[in-house]
């Protein structure tokens, strides 16, 4: 379609869709009166799993299968983006290597220092958020992105050379796969140590303690590792593409 018929068609379609959804929404229970079993779920998770943050109780226990699927979505997407971006890259490795060093050299010292200084706090914050997910807002996903941002900062602050020595992409790829693998293994372990896959088989401890809620914090850490790896993989691949290639 050319622009005009497309615009007209879109207007008609979306007006119809909006009207339908508004009609449906008018039959929902009024805002502020949920129809879901909110309090029953909170009580169940606190009493039976000793999880203080029941959102993570739902995420990593009650509906842990959703999260397994979600982790694999992230895993596949990160891997896939990396493969897609690397496609057709082999031919100019030489050029890449040369520019690699220039990329490092271009970064001003002040920025490099500022970036390096921020890394420590970011990593501490990320780890804290990951391991306290069952107690307070946060968890593997939120902390993982913070950790990935820390890694990216190292990269962007011109420490490319330092990181290149440990092959950052290989490292984050390993983290990406390890996290996903760990989640799946804990899920399968439920069959061995309890009666069902994803069953919470560790002691539940005292509500509010760091070591409580059984496998919930374990899975949260697995997700944290996975997310750190996945997000860092995507970002470093894109960064590689922009900083180290092209620009001639």
Partner 1 sequence: MTVLALSVLVPMIAGTVLSLTASVERRPAAAATAFAATLASLVLLAVALAHVGDGRTVVWWGNWPPHGRVVGIDFAVDGLGGGLALFVTALALPALLMAGYAIRASAQLFYGVCLVFVAAMVGYCLTGDLFDLFVFFELMSVAAYVLVGYEVRERAPLEGALTFAITNSVGSILFLFGIGLLYGKVGALNMAQLGHGLQAVGPSGLVCVAFALVSVGLLVKAAVVPFHFWTADAYGVAPTPVLILLAGVFSELGLYGFARVFWTVFEPALAGHHDAVRAIFVGLGIATGLLGAVLALAQHHLLRMLAFVVVSQIGLFLVGIGLLSADGLAGSAIFVVGDGFAKAALFVCVGVVTHRYDAAGERALHGRARALWPLGLAFGLAALTVADLPPFGAFLGRSLIEDAALSAPGWAWVPAVMALVSALAAGALLRAGLRVFRGVGEPASRDARFTSDEAGGDEREDVAVGVPAALAGALVLAALVWGLVPGLAQSVTAAAARFTDTAGYAAAVLGGGSGVAAPVVPHVAGPGATAYLYATATLLGAGVVAWLGVAGRSVPRTAARAVDAVRALHSGHPGDYVAWTAGGAAVLGALFALTLR
Partner 2 sequence: MTVLPYLVAAWLLVVGLWGTITSRHLVQQVMCLTVVQSSTYVLLLAVGYRTGGYAPIVSSSVPPSSPFVDPIVQALALTDVVVEATVVAVLLALTVQAHKRFGTVDPDRLGELSG
Partner 3 sequence: MTVLHVVALAAVAAGGTAVALARDPVRQALVASVFGLSLALLFFAFQAPDVAISQIVVATVAVPVMVLLALTKLRRDEEQR
Q: Which stretch binds partner 3 (CB under 8 A): 101-109, 159-167, 211-219, 238-246?
A: 238-246
Instruction: Provide the binding-site residues for partner 1, judged by CB under 8 A.
Output: 1, 6, 9-10, 12-14, 16-17, 20-21, 23-29, 34-37, 40-41, 44, 61-66, 68-70, 72-73, 75-77, 79-81, 83-84, 87, 170, 173-174, 176-178, 180-181, 184-185, 187-188, 190-191, 194-200
Q: Could you say which of 37, 137, 203, 208 contacts partner 3 (CB under 8 A)?
A: 137
**What's the token pair of residue 25?**
């929404």
Give the dihedral of Cα atoms 100, 102, 103, 107; nearest 10 deg: 150
- How far apart (Å, rounded) are the C-alpha atoms in residues 190 and 197? 5
129 contacts: CB under 8 Å, gap ≥ 6: 138, 139, 142, 143, 146
The candidate with the shortest Cα–Cα distance to 61, out of 225, 217, 226, 224, is 217
Place of tokens 């030489």: 94
- Choose the one of partner 2, partner 1, partner 3, none that binds residue 244, judging by a C-beta under 5 to 8 angstroms depending on kind: none
- Which of the listed partners (partner 3, partner 1, partner 2, none) does 194 bind, with a CB threshold of 5 to 8 Å by partner kind? partner 1
**Burial category of 236 from C-beta neighbours within 10 Å (exposed 0-12, middle 13-18, buried 19 and up):** buried
- CA-nearest of 154, 164, 163, 166 to 120 is 154
Among 41, 55, 118, 184, binds partner 3 (CB under 8 A): 55
Which three-class secondary structure state does DSSP give residue 38? helix
Q: Sign (positive/negative) of CA torsion 13, 15, 16, 21?
A: positive
Report how far residue 34's alpha carbon sits from residue 173's, in angstroms, rounded to the nearest whole number: 41
Asked if 145 is part of the footprint of partner 3 (rule: CB under 8 A), the reply reads yes
87 or 165, CB closer to partner 1?
A: 87
Contact partner, 185, from partner 2, partner 1, partner 3, none, Cβ < 5-8 Å per class: partner 1
Q: Is 115 left (phi over 0), alpha (psi -120 to 50) or beta?
A: alpha
How many residues are recorded in the chain?
A: 248
Nearer of residues 95 and 193 to partner 3, judged by Cβ: 95
Measured from the CB of residue 157, what is the shortest distance to partner 1 in angstroms?
26
212 binds partner 3 (CB under 8 A): no
Query: Which residues contact partner 2 (rule: CB under 8 A)?
Result: 3, 6-7, 10, 14, 17-18, 21-22, 25-26, 28-39, 41-43, 45-47, 52-55, 57-59, 62-63, 66-67, 70, 73-74, 77-78, 80-82, 84-85, 87-88, 136-137, 141, 207-208, 227, 230-231, 234, 237-238, 241
> Which residues form the interface with partner 3 (CB under 8 A)?
31-32, 53, 55-56, 129, 137-139, 141-142, 145-146, 148-149, 152, 231, 234-235, 238-239, 241-242, 245-248
């Amino acid at each position: 379609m050319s622009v005009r018929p497309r615009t007209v068609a879109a207007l008609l379609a979306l007006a119809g869709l909006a009207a339908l959804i508004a009609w449906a929404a008018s039959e929902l229970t009024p805002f502020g009166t949920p129809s879901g079993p909110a309090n029953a779920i909170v009580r169940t998770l606190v009493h039976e799993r000793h999880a203080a943050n029941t959102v993570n109780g739902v995420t990593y226990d009650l509906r842990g299968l959703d999260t397994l699927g979600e982790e694999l979505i992230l895993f596949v997407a990160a891997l896939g983006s990396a493969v897609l971006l690397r496609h057709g890259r082999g031919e100019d490795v030489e050029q890449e290597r040369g520019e690699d060093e220039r990329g490092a050299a271009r970064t001003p010292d002040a920025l490099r220092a500022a970036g390096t200084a921020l890394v420590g706090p970011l990593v501490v914050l990320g780890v804290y958020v990951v391991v306290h997910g069952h107690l307070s807002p946060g968890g593997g996903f939120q902390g993982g992105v913070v950790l990935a941002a820390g890694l990216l900062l190292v990269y962007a602050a011109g420490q490319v050379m330092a990181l290149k020595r440990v092959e950052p992409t290989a490292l984050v790829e390993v983290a990406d796969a390890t996290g996903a693998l760990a989640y799946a293994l804990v899920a399968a372990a439920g069959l061995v140590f309890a009666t069902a896959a994803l069953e919470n088989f560790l002691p539940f401890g005292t509500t509010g303690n760091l070591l409580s809620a059984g496998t919930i914090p374990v899975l949260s850490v697995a997700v944290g590792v996975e997310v750190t790896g996945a997000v860092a993989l995507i970002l470093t691949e894109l960064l590689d593409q922009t900083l180290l290639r092209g620009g001639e």
